[in-house]
Amino acid sequence: MIVEIRNLIKRYNNNLAVDNVSLTIPEGDIFGLLGPNGAGKTTLINTMLGLTELNEGEIRIFGENFRTSERMIKQNIGIVPQDLAIYNELTAYENLQFFGKLYGLKGGLLKERIEEALKFTGLWEKRKVLPKRFSGGMKRRLNIACAILHRPKLIIMDEPTVGIDPQSRNQILESIKKLNEMGSTIIYTSHYMEEVEEICNNITIIDHGKVIAQGTKDELKNLISLEDRIKIQLTSVNYSLEEGIKRVKGVKECVLEGNTLTVISNKNANNLSGIIEIINQMNIEIQGMDFEKPTLEGVFLTLTGRTLRD
């Protein structure tokens, strides 16, 4: 196990940001930490890095703890913070020089690693450019480059794809897979289901600081394969719609998002006509209907009654 966290508790005043979280991350994994805004993902990561003091619990990284092996642990971790952590007054190359030296790289090796990291993130051509002239995606990539040039065993990425175009996002996801193939263990934090679903093996879902589900992707999906999910697009909605539908036989959960109604029912409840009847009674037209396969989004919805982006 490359990371072991046991009964971790972190409070901000009376706010329990991390509530008794335990998790283990096997070496070589791409580990997904999934949760909505404010779930406690960043707090959890910060406690792992010693940036935030924890209140209770224990963290072991590479089998050691911070008290005895802080330097060794830090030397082998690369962090991609959620907020860009690069200097705008230094060129891409100089940023890497600066952070590389903080990790003890120097001379020819430093140059080599800088080139490697910049080429890896597709920024080599832009190495002499100041980040303020970069696009959002390029900044994100530089943010990653700064975290990998010392070839860390463990790379922690806190929502590395926030606010960028799909093309850059795919590029980043691809590079994460490559880093993993090259031997790094990755902790990947996100509130985008699709991303986590695409690249992660083991996944922990947290909400309000608590672990609500843990397991491999397939294990998590099996949690909800006992259910049917229907998405219904409507022309209009009304307040009592959700209530009405929840009363239909076999319906476990029902959420309205814009004009889309998601209904989760017990497997083979055979209640579709009942649902449609309620909608008809309210004089709402149905525009379309999808029957969905289980997704992590569905897992979250089932477990919390909310969608991830609530």
Ligand X SMILES: Nc1ncnc2c1ncn2[C@@H]1O[C@H](COP(=O)(O)OP(=O)(O)OP(=O)(O)O)[C@@H](O)[C@H]1O
53 part of the interface to another protein, by CB under 8 A: yes
Name the one range near Mg ion by CB under 5 A: 3-11, 41-49, 117-125, 261-269.
41-49
Q: How many residues bind Mg ion (CB under 5 A)?
A: 3
Closest distance to Mg ion from the beta carbon of 7 (Å): 22
CA dihedral 132, 138, 139, 145 (to 10 degrees): -130
- Any residues with CB less than 8 A from the CB of 239 and at least 6 apart, and which? none
State the nearest-atom distance from the C-beta of 79 to another protein, in Å: 5
Segment near ligand X (CB under 6 A), from 36-44, 108-116, 139-147, 213-221?
A: 36-44
Residue 268 carries which DSSP code?
Answer: T
Q: How far is the CB of 188 from Mg ion (least distance, A)?
A: 12
Distance CA(271)–CA(196), nearest Å, equals 32
Q: Which does 191 bind (CB under 5 to 8 A by kind): ligand X, another protein, Mg ion, none?
A: ligand X
Binding of Mg ion by 190 (CB under 5 A): no
Reference 61, options 50, 52, 51, 53; nearest CA is 50
DSSP for 66-111 reads HHHHHHHHHHTEEEE-SS----TTS-HHHHHHHHHHHTT--HHHHH
CB of 61 to another protein, least distance (A): 12
Near ligand X in 155-214, by CB under 6 A:
191
x/- track of binding to ligand X for residues 53-82 (CB under 6 A): -----------------------------x
Q: End-to-end alpha-carbon separation of the chain, Å?
A: 33
Which stretch, 33-41, 109-117, 139-147, 247-255, contacts ligand X (CB under 6 A)?
33-41
Closer by beta carbon to ligand X, 110 or else 157: 157
21 in Cβ contact with 54 (< 8 Å): no
CB 275 within 8 A of CB 230: yes
d(CA 286, CA 237): 10
CB atoms within 10 A of CB 163: 11
Stated as kind and residue range, the H or E segment containing 143 is: helix 136-148
Report the residue number, 164 or 284, with the smaller CB distance to another protein: 164
Q: What distance in Å separates the CA atoms of residue 164 and residue 11, rounded to the nearest whole number? A: 32
CB of 188 to ligand X, least distance (A): 13
**Partner interacting with residue 101 (select from Mg ion, ligand X, another protein, none; CB below 5-8 Å by kind):** another protein
Contact flag: residue 82 with Mg ion (CB under 5 A): yes
Q: Which positions lie near ligand X, rule CB under 6 A?
A: 12, 15, 17, 35, 37-43, 82, 191
Q: Which positions lie near another protein, rule CB under 8 A?
A: 46, 49-51, 53, 70-71, 74-75, 77, 79, 81, 83-87, 89-90, 94, 97-99, 101-104, 106, 146-147
